[in-house]
Chains A and B, each alone.
Chain A
Amino acid sequence: MNIREYISSGVLEAYVLGELSPAEREAVEKNLREHPELRQELAAIEQTQEKIFFQTAITPPPALREKILAQVQPASTANVVEGKFNYWPWAFAASVVFALVASYLAFYYRGQWIESQVALNEYIAQNQQIAENYNTVNQRLDKLQSDLSIMENTQFVKVVMTGTENAPQAQASVYWNQSSEEVFVSIQSLKQISQENQYQLWALVDGKPVDAGVFDGQFEGLLKMKNVKGAQAFAVTIEPRGGLPAPTLSTMQVIGTLPKG
């Protein structure tokens, strides 16, 4: 190949201007690799061209620089931006969501907790009431059991006292253990009396009334009275509260004698 002719044809200038077909371009590149003179010539053409363009350079509008750099940079730093900096908005959003959810749950569960507390207090109160009722019932049952044991005890003599002329409908009973001298009274029917007065039980021992204690008109089961020895009969009168040493016979309500035998 004649290098001089090749250069004179202007093919290198066309190559530099990018005006060759792909096939022509490949041929030129092959020749360039094989001939250092051609590479030298190409470099000279390029430098000449470069001088022409640098001497006819026009500075672009200053604003264009930032615009272009900003436009191009995101593409090159996109991976970094996504991998690194975009993490924070997501983290922020996540923490905000978390805070909102946590606040809501805290509020919700606080409400639930208060409701539970109220309900629990109610149950505790109910439980106390039930326990109290149970105790009351239990005490009452104990009392009735002990009363019943007295009534069933053959050591005790039941003395039924019936109404006098003052109160024909009235009735009460005395359970008396002659050996232990214990006395219990029970009311079947006695009228209401005022707060100033009380009933007083008397035992008739050898024809004389002996005080056996006072009681109010309303109670359940048996009421323990004073011990009595050697009685033949029992009676109840209405006396001033606290009772008197001797009975007021005009207020006698019931009276009964020991059963024979």
Chain B
Amino acid sequence: MAALKSQNTQALEYLYDHYSAALYGAISRIVQTEEMASEVLQDVFLKIWERIGSYDPAKGRLFTWMLNVARHQAIDKTRSKESRKGKKTDDIDLLVHKIDKSDFTEVSTDAIGLTEVLNKLNDDQRLVVDYLYLKGYTQSELAAEFGIPLGTVKTRLRAAMSQLRLLLDVK
């Protein structure tokens, strides 16, 4: 962590090698094209590099921090392109489509396992996880889109995460 904060380039390579795929997956499901995803990933690593000094380990895990940088960057990108509206009309089990989408070169084999895991959630829970985690919606966007009160969105996510914690075997 100290190496990262002092902007050691080996540390950056470590970050890239460990986190780029997870971040790229998150970005790819928010933006439309592989080209956009590549641009966003590039911007994300620049930002991570620039802002690494402001990351406080006491407030959360490094990946959480990086993921939020990536999500914001991806959402900004789609908003700047005025292209998110079309996406919102997509079908509910878009996650599966997205994961299988052929214009993204490589798909983690774990994704199949996750799809099975998500299928064990009830429909309400699966929807919030899908939209909030995998499509990059904000909670208020989801609430507005589906006409659900914001508090309900939060408690549903809470319930879903509790389920997933057991399913994914998090101690």
Residues of A whose CB lies within 8 Å of any CB of B are 7-14, 16-19, 29, 32, 42-61, 64-65, 67-69, 71-73, 75-77
Give A48 to B117 CA distance when docked, in angstroms: 12
Give A10 to B25 CA distance when docked, in angstroms: 25
- Given contacts A68-B42, A76-B7, are A14 and B154 in contact (CB under 8 A)? yes
Q: Is the CB of A59 within 8 A of B157?
A: no
Give A16 to B133 CA distance when docked, in angstroms: 11
- Given contacts A52-B129, A58-B24, are A71 and B111 in contact (CB under 8 A)? no
Q: How many residues of B contact A (CB 8 A)?
A: 65
Q: Is the CB of B164 within 8 A of A52?
A: yes
Q: Taking chain B's interface residues, is the majority helix, strand, or loop, or is none over half, making it mixed?
A: helix
**B20 on the A face (CB < 8 A):** yes
With most chain B CB atoms within 10 A of its CB, the pick from A7, A9, A55 is A55
For A49, what are the chain B residues with a Cβ–Cβ distance below 8 Å?
Answer: 64, 67, 133, 161
For A67, what are the chain B residues with a Cβ–Cβ distance below 8 Å?
Answer: 42
Q: Is the CB of A51 within 8 A of B139?
A: no
Offer 12 A-B interface pairs, CB within 8 angstroms, sorted by A: A9-B155, A12-B158, A47-B61, A49-B67, A49-B161, A52-B134, A52-B164, A53-B26, A57-B22, A58-B107, A60-B41, A64-B41
- Among A13, A46, A64, A75, the residue within 8 A (CB) of B38 is A64
Contact with A along B99-123 (1 / 0, CB 8 A): 1000011111011011001000000
For B26, what are the chain A residues with a Cβ–Cβ distance below 8 Å?
Answer: 53, 56
Q: Is the CB of B25 within 8 A of A13?
A: no
Give A172 to B56 CA distance when docked, in angstroms: 132
For A48, what are the chain B residues with a Cβ–Cβ distance below 8 Å?
Answer: 161, 164-165, 168, 170
In the A-B complex, list the 5 residue pairs whose CB atoms are closest, starting with the nearest.
A10-B154, A10-B158, A57-B21, A55-B110, A18-B68
In the complex, the chain A residue whose C-beta lies closest to that of B101 is A58
For B134, what are the chain A residues with a Cβ–Cβ distance below 8 Å?
Answer: 52, 56
In the complex, the chain A residue whose C-beta lies closest to that of B64 is A46
Q: Is the CB of B25 within 8 A of A16?
A: no
Q: Is the CB of B9 within 8 A of A13?
A: no
Give A49 to B34 CA distance when docked, in angstroms: 23
Give A69 to B12 CA distance when docked, in angstroms: 8
Q: Is the CB of A14 within 8 A of B16?
A: no
For A17, what are the chain B residues with a Cβ–Cβ distance below 8 Å?
Answer: 68, 71, 132, 138-139
> In the assembled complex, how far is the CB of residue B15 from the closest CB belonging to chain A, in whole angstroms?
10
In the complex, the chain B residue whose C-beta lies closest to that of A18 is B68
In the complex, the chain A residue whose C-beta lies closest to that of B61 is A46
> In the assembled complex, how far is the CB of residue B36 from the closest CB belonging to chain A, in whole angstroms?
12
Q: Is the CB of B21 within 8 A of A50?
A: no
List which B153-171 residues lie within 8 A (CB) of chain A: 153-158, 161, 164-165, 168, 170-171
In the complex, the chain A residue whose C-beta lies closest to that of B133 is A52
Q: Is the CB of B16 within 8 A of A68?
A: yes
Give A65 to B165 CA distance when docked, in angstroms: 32
Q: Is the CB of B42 within 8 A of A71?
A: yes
For B41, what are the chain A residues with a Cβ–Cβ distance below 8 Å?
Answer: 60, 64, 68
Give A77 to B114 CA distance when docked, in angstroms: 40
